[in-house]
Structure 1
Amino acid sequence: MSVDVSSSSASQPADLETTARNGSRFRRMAVRIPTYLADVKENPAWLPMFMLARTMPGRRAHWALSAKYKPSDDPQPSLFGALDATAVADALRSDGIFTGLQMPAEIQQEISRFALTTPCFGNFDRSLEFVAPRHREAEQSFGRSLLSGHFFERSLKSPGVRAIQADPLLMDIAKHYLGASAQLITTRIWWSFPTKTSSEADRSLASLDKFHFDLDDWRMLKFFFNLVNVDDGTGPHVFVKGSHNRRKAKHQYTLLVGHPADEVLDYYGADQAVTLTGPAGSGFVEDPFGFHMGTVPVTKPRLMMEVGFGVSKPSRRRFHGEPIINR
């Protein structure tokens, strides 16, 4: 997989821009409040995590108290070959990211066929159902831009998705990095589409074009796989190396997890931003507490797979990124 590291009158517009940006942030937070309340009701332990896991002291204390992992002397065979889980975990501790994963071609091809023929849900909305090859027709039919297409529970109908999710190397790496309590919390595939118009709210919901960190658990690890060839025009993922280990005070003691790109890169270093391109089947693993973002495709759709691990029980009420749903 290729990795590209890639006066008052004057201040008034900037002040207005900042005010507008902050207003937009707080509107997005207000929309999420019902989901947050439901998360607390389902699992009261979610609230202290949500408040403290964004701070470095809180995170370090939780890591220090974690149960250590004792690996088996007889590792199981993996679809990814003989990668050393210890070496991968060491790279993650240093950089927050490890590249060089490659899924078998036949599995990548099966998942891609599945994603081309199985209906997905646009912009996380289950009422916006369509198949990916008819994306433009779907936008015309629904009268709105469709930036993403998620499969939710349908992802696990793909034998290839289930095979990758169950691969023992992924769990071994997760336990080496997160500790003995590491467990699978999410598996998903989704499309990101080029679209002529998209709202900031849709881009934010799809985690596109804004650096952010994930705060779904005290400790997390996520494996990502490109299921199509990804170049600069396909909306590649971007990760800021080392940002999982240090955090500006402003980025800790706030309820916001998303921050402007210039603000993030000025502090953590533009030279630390890694743009992850690569052929279909290539993959990487990252600590999502580090700043990262997806970018909006401009030439062709991107199809991605994610397998996520955490240390707390996952929500059974909804899928990643999905608003509260009534069941």
Structure 2
Amino acid sequence: MFDTPKSKSNDLETIARSGGAFRRMAARVPTYLTDVRENPAWLPMFLLARTMPFRKAHWLTAKPVRSTDDATPSMFGNLQAEAIATELRRTGIFAGLTLPAPIREEIARFGRETPCFGNFERKVEFLADEHADAERRFGRTILSGHHFERVLQCDAALAVQRDPLLLNVARHYLGGQATLITTRTWWSFPTKSASEADLSRASFKFHFDLDDWRMLKFFFYLTDVDADAGPHVYVRGSHNRRRVKHQLTLLVGHPADEVLGFYGEDSAITMIGNAGTGFVEDPFGFHMGTLAKQSPRLMMEVGFGVSKPSNRRYHGEPVVR
């Protein structure tokens, strides 16, 4: 599935990519400083949650799940939260969620009819169907389009984030203090003009998330996703063990050959499915989005964590100077 570079020239490319990664990290310093001012507890999380000893220690603070008699039906049928949590502990990912057609269609319509913001920039605003025109108009490559807080205007999206199964799974996996922290929808667009710099700024390399000490993310495809539509890839088992090298660096993104060389190529699972396909994963495990080659991908995410969420900005949005 992935080519493994072995030449010295590729080693030099890796060094070059690392330099670019450090420049990107430096550009994020204003965002990091704002995060610390808003929530001083963010800094120790950011520095220590990448290490397995501190993560395991934090898991010991998980509160027991309270028994509940809530009989509210789930749109996902009779799936058992405890069984899903057990599979998550084993592999880090569970596939088998399907959005009801009316819910999927309403969110997809919202995604088409609501302007999105390209590459996380609020000045780059356009409708998904106008992507090619937007690239010409703004004179830049546009790989993604996020709706940010506008997703809260979509009743179907709110129905998904409030579904009792999602919270029950989160609490059985993360502990009783699990709470909703993020809901987002975004487009991934195919483009013919993407440079290496564009790709390196996106999530097209294996990485892990450090938004909280413990997290769980539900993903739903709102368009059909095949191998050419930017499918999500997850490395099974990488959520509960970590190469020492990957614990002692501030970088969260790493080349595919380096990741799969340690965890095994057969550990990577590519999520392909029709519109409505859903899955849930522990995002501390290595994962990535692949480049949409032929058709755009619309996706929804509902995330749970154990810390106070930021009310200042939305997923991936930098601090605006």
Q: What is the aligned counterpart of 2:285 among 287, 290, 312?
A: 290
Kindly report the root-mean-square deviation, in angstroms, between the aligned alpha carbons of the 2 structures.
1.5
Question: C-alpha separation between the residues in 2 aligned to 1:51 and 1:254?
Answer: 9
Match of 2:183 in 1: 187
Q: How far 1:203 moved relative to its partner?
A: 3.0
Question: C-alpha separation between the residues in 2 aligned to 1:195 and 1:22?
Answer: 24
Q: Which whole-Å deviations, capped at 9, do the CAs of 1:214-273 have from their partners, x for residues lacking one?
A: 000000000000001110000000000000010000000110100000000000010010
Q: How far 1:66 moved relative to its partner?
A: 1.8
Question: C-alpha separation between the residues in 2 aligned to 1:12 and 1:277?
Answer: 34
Question: C-alpha separation between the residues in 2 aligned to 1:301 and 1:52?
Answer: 36
Q: What is the aligned counterpart of 2:269 among 265, 274, 279?
A: 274
Q: What is the aligned counterpart of 1:217 among 207, 212, 237?
A: 212
Contact kept, 8 Å, 1:240 with 1:272, in 2: the verdict is yes
Residues 256-267 of structure 1: matches in 2 within 5 Å?
Answer: 256-267=251-262
Contact kept, 8 Å, 1:318 with 1:325, in 2: the verdict is no
Percent identity, aligned pairs only, is 65
Contact kept, 8 Å, 1:211 with 1:291, in 2: the verdict is yes
Match of 1:309 in 2: 304
Question: C-alpha separation between the residues in 2 aligned to 1:60 and 1:158?
Answer: 37
Match of 2:81 in 1: 85
Q: Which whole-Å deviations, capped at 9, do the CAs of 1:294-323 have from their partners, x for residues lacking one?
A: 001001000000000000011111100001
What letter is aligned with 2:111? A
Q: How far 1:200 moved relative to its partner?
A: 3.9
Question: C-alpha separation between the residues in 2 aligned to 1:211 and 1:178?
Answer: 23
Match of 1:66 in 2: 62
Distance 1:172 1:12, change over 3 A: closer
What letter is aligned with 2:80? D
Contact kept, 8 Å, 1:123 with 1:202, in 2: the verdict is no
Q: What is the aligned counterpart of 2:244 among 239, 243, 249?
A: 249
Q: Identify unmatched segments of 5+ residues in structure 2.
A: none
Contact kept, 8 Å, 1:232 with 1:277, in 2: the verdict is yes
Question: C-alpha separation between the residues in 2 aligned to 1:90 and 1:120?
Answer: 36
Q: What is the aligned counterpart of 1:23 among 5, 19, 25?
A: 19
Question: C-alpha separation between the residues in 1 aligned to 2:8 and 2:301?
Answer: 43
Distance 1:12 1:286, change over 3 A: closer
TM-score (norm 2): 0.96
Question: C-alpha separation between the residues in 2 aligned to 1:201 and 1:11?
Answer: 21
Residues 87-126 of structure 1: matches in 2 within 5 Å?
Answer: 87-126=83-122
Paired residue secondary structure (2:228): helix
Paired residue secondary structure (1:48): helix
What letter is aligned with 2:14? T
Distance 1:199 1:43, change over 3 A: farther
Question: C-alpha separation between the residues in 2 aligned to 1:198 and 1:297?
Answer: 11
Q: What is the aligned counterpart of 1:34 among 30, 33, 45?
A: 30
In the alignment, does 2:53 pair up with 1:57?
yes
Number of equivalenced pairs: 318
> Which is worse superposed, 101-110 or 63-72?
63-72
What letter is aligned with 1:151? H
In the alignment, does 2:44 pair up with 1:48?
yes
Q: What is the aligned counterpart of 1:174 among 152, 170, 176?
A: 170
Q: How far 1:28 moved relative to its partner?
A: 1.2
TM-score (norm 1): 0.94
Paired residue secondary structure (1:308): strand
Q: How far 1:74 moved relative to its partner?
A: 4.1
Distance 1:203 1:13, change over 3 A: closer
> Which is worse superposed, 18-27 or 243-252?
18-27
Q: How far 1:325 moved relative to its partner?
A: 3.1
Distance 1:218 1:155, change over 3 A: same
